[in-house]
Structure 1
């Protein structure tokens, strides 16, 4: 969790902010921005929406600073404002989807599929934006894993808020009731329903547990082998890295593939055959290993950003591939969008 500035300094900054000093307010909230942004992403499933929600929440907090009476911490008050802002966004925009939500898997390659621009898609989250430090029931990285964030989208806004505030951030049910302007009984009820629904959708073993068991060196070896197999067009090397039940999805495409045979049919037909040249950069997203891929017309031609591909591992094999297509995702990770 973010570290708030010292009590004495915070009191002075708060007094200056109350008098209209926006620079003092900026300094006051700066240590909490990263964790507040991560909270907004968990609620909304999109870095873009999280940007907008955090900006709106901080504007609301600045305009309503006189209403902060100091009976709770500044951090708790800001989480109240951010959560309510996110709940308003959930009411307006609904939930974000993954291809698996739209229909069954394809058993063969779909060539020249058309992106679905009308669907609000879940997006990746750069690990560089995650706050450091322990959480309550979930680790900070566990709480942004793709399976977790995708499952959160199937909860109501109040259920999302209750679970995140209690299980991830460590607020009490009584504190959450005050933050959400409801009763402790309602919070506990929402929390129970949220946990039941998440248990049905989130694997019992988190990616953090898998990654810790493997160790950084073995994780990097697996991810590098996958990226190199794609870059070199080596279908045999690629298939050797996949679990039998591997799944590959590529939002904003509705088509997705499950099973080694279907995934390899797609891989051979599209990326290994129709994409002449690949480059890659290893990164991390949603607390998981990831690869920024670039595609070029030839090895000597400029390569344009294709995706942020997030890997889900089971042991040393790849169980899941989620390729978020679009240069905007690569740019969001602070990476170049063209590999000259």
Structure 2
């Protein structure tokens, strides 16, 4: 999963400057930042750094904290930036160290389907698990650049999908960093080796092991990215919203894939199969009747802010589509916190 048109720069202040379009580092990127323009130059890298930290950590909240810590360290240490590497490379080095520090001793985040087999309709929902258990959703605008090469944008969207981010968490932290830098951001092995104070041979070995781990889980980093929504998929989403808001189970059944899954973090329980998903909606999920859905975009896929019939927050839905059907519904129930992250009101706007 490589963004092939953007070469990464060296990630150490002691390396050679990264080549620009003409093969040489640009003066603006190479020169030591002056105090008066440092804030603006740091801020210009916030989105891509947030995407990197999100892939590393699996949490939008932790990613934003990590980027803020990166900015603080860069601001305080700018006098040590000597311009022998690019500012972007220097920031990635700091961000990597921040993430590796945060991951020390922590357990990996996951999706409900990564932890247990699907439940049946008569399974009690159980007790919610701590937020640190779960891969969380992230708004597209926080992690994806608004402009750029369409192919690179498609690859970036694919690399923040919930399944891929969850697969990344199976990797040891340094392997995770290597795979993201090499396969997602197209850094060279020598650049990654400099960033990690390692050798090219060690980086190549880590990448090989990371690829093997992801291949064993069915998450191939070299797989082609999903295409933007076409007219048929947009129509499918409209039919899904209409069926869900009208609580029309016959219409909902028509848009769900036979093997559709439903998960509801912070609960570990999840369901597989159209019949069980619809059965849940008619049983324990009957509180969804009368819901309002407001469209959003999360993790490179369609998403919705779901409000109860009385206009209060219910869930942040991330919806996956394939083969002309809805294949997965991820309903994150930490609604108020997530609505604030996504910038949507805590009362249905009408």
Taking the aligned partners of 1:193 and 1:152, their CA distance within structure 2 comes to 12
Give per-residue Cα distances to partners, 1:237-271, cap 9 Å, x unaligned.
11111111111111101100012222222122133
Taking the aligned partners of 1:331 and 1:267, their CA distance within structure 2 comes to 26
The answer as to 2:254 corresponding to 1:243 is: no
- Asked if the contact 1:106/1:262 (under 8 Å) is kept, the reply is no
* Partner-residue secondary structure (3-state), 2:83: coil
The answer as to 2:346 corresponding to 1:334 is: no
- Residue matched to 1:16: 34
Matches within 5 A, 1:52-91: 52-91=65-104
Shift of 1:232: 0.8
The answer as to 2:148 corresponding to 1:133 is: yes
Give per-residue Cα distances to partners, 1:32-52, cap 9 Å, x unaligned.
111011111010011100011
Alignment: residue pair count: 323
- Residue matched to 2:16: none
- Residue matched to 1:317: 325
Higher mean alpha-carbon deviation, 61-70 vs 34-43, is at: 61-70
The match for 2:245 among 212, 223, 231 is 231
RMSD, aligned CA: 2.6
- Asked if the contact 2:178/2:206 (under 8 Å) is kept, the reply is yes
Matches within 5 A, 1:49-198: 49-110=62-123, 113-117=126-130, 119-129=132-142, 130-131=144-145, 132-134=147-149, 139-198=155-214
TM-score (norm 2): 0.84
Taking the aligned partners of 1:177 and 1:137, their CA distance within structure 2 comes to 26
Higher mean alpha-carbon deviation, 193-202 vs 158-167, is at: 193-202
* Partner-residue secondary structure (3-state), 1:338: coil
Q: 1:77 to 1:101 in 2, by over 3 A?
A: same
The answer as to 2:269 corresponding to 1:269 is: no
Shift of 1:171: 1.1
Give per-residue Cα distances to partners, 1:176-231, cap 9 Å, x unaligned.
0110111111111111111112223345697942x44x51x322221221122121
Q: 1:144 to 1:99 in 2, by over 3 A?
A: same
Gap runs ≥5 in structure 2: 1-5, 9-19
TM-score (norm 1): 0.87
Taking the aligned partners of 1:203 and 1:185, their CA distance within structure 2 comes to 24
- Asked if the contact 2:294/2:306 (under 8 Å) is kept, the reply is yes
The match for 1:295 among 297, 302, 308 is 308
The answer as to 2:227 corresponding to 1:218 is: no
Shift of 1:336: 0.9
- Asked if the contact 2:108/2:133 (under 8 Å) is kept, the reply is yes
Shift of 1:111: 5.7
Give per-residue Cα distances to partners, 1:35-92, cap 9 Å, x unaligned.
0111110100111000111111112222222332322211111111101111111114
